[in-house]
Amino acid sequence: MTRQERLIAIVVLGLIACGALAIHFGKPHLGKPGLVIEKVALTNEYGKVIRTERIHFPDRVQGFRSADAPITDLEATNLPPDTVYGRKLYGDDTAFIAQMSAVMMQTDRTSIHRPQICVTGQGWQIQKTEVIDIPVPLPSPYILKATCLTSTKTMPTADKRTYSSIYIYWFVAEHEMVADHPEALWAISRDLVTTGTLHPWGYVSCFTRCQPGQEGAYLQRMKRLISMSAPDFQLTPPGKVKQTASLPEPAPLK
């Protein structure tokens, strides 16, 4: 690490620490969410209602069928009690199935955790990390920048079969979208220090599992799902965000 990089890191850590102190000792003004919240009960895997509201994911997305999915009891008990969740499964007429999830903080930013923890905690080994562009056509065209993790996992079965997974995620608030966790923490602390506002940042993800060699085709389907569903659950992006590419047709599955 160069001297300049060390100085930048010190400044970032200092700002994050100031933000944490502002939350702990101050009374920050609460901003508005960047995700749509609906008054619908959310259940865990045992059918117990754990929240009376949830982040909205659309029931109808062209080319995909959908089904509600639970938030596990482990998730609900390990994050702050005011955390807001949302989850839905989407599939098409092929073998493609993807899980869309969202976690949104309220007054406790520890709701917004590192996505890598979710992936490696389930036994996946991350092979590649990249920032990708996802064109979103509505309400005005823009490019959603997200982080994509490609991972592998050997299942504990008799044949020891290895699968690949793709995990796409990004963070969104009322005024801003970023592709990774450090950027979100920086933005939370920056706004607290400069404006005294605590924005309820949301962490949105899309996960699918596939056979090795199918990663490219599955990624294109995930990008199409996100592109077509985001206008329903994500509020208007900043005006400065512009679209620069169109979404290609998904490749056929092999």
- The count of domains in the chain is 1
Residue 47 falls inside a structural domain: yes
Residue 27 falls inside a structural domain: yes
What domain range includes position 136? 3-233
Residue 245 falls inside a structural domain: no
Residue 205's pLDDT is 97
Peptide bond into 139 cis (omega under 30): yes
Residue 254 falls inside a structural domain: no
Q: Which helix (H) or strand (E) holds 75?
A: helix 73-78
Residue 47 DSSP SS3: coil
Place of tokens 């009690």: 81
Prediction pTM value: 0.83
Task: Evaluate whether 152 touches 244 at the Cβ level (below 8 Å).
Answer: no
Residue 139's pLDDT is 82
Task: Evaluate whether 23 touches 192 at the Cβ level (below 8 Å).
Answer: yes
**Residue type (1 letter), 206:** C
Mean pLDDT by 10 residues, the chain (254 residues): 47 44 59 93 94 95 95 91 95 94 91 87 94 90 94 86 96 92 90 90 96 95 96 76 48 57
Residue 105, C-beta contacts closer than 8 angstroms, at least 6 positions apart: 80, 82, 83, 111, 112, 200, 201, 202
Residue 157's pLDDT is 78
Residue 248's pLDDT is 52
Residue 12 falls inside a structural domain: yes
Q: Which DSSP symbol is given to 51?
A: E
Residue 187 falls inside a structural domain: yes
Residue 244 falls inside a structural domain: no
Residue 62 falls inside a structural domain: yes
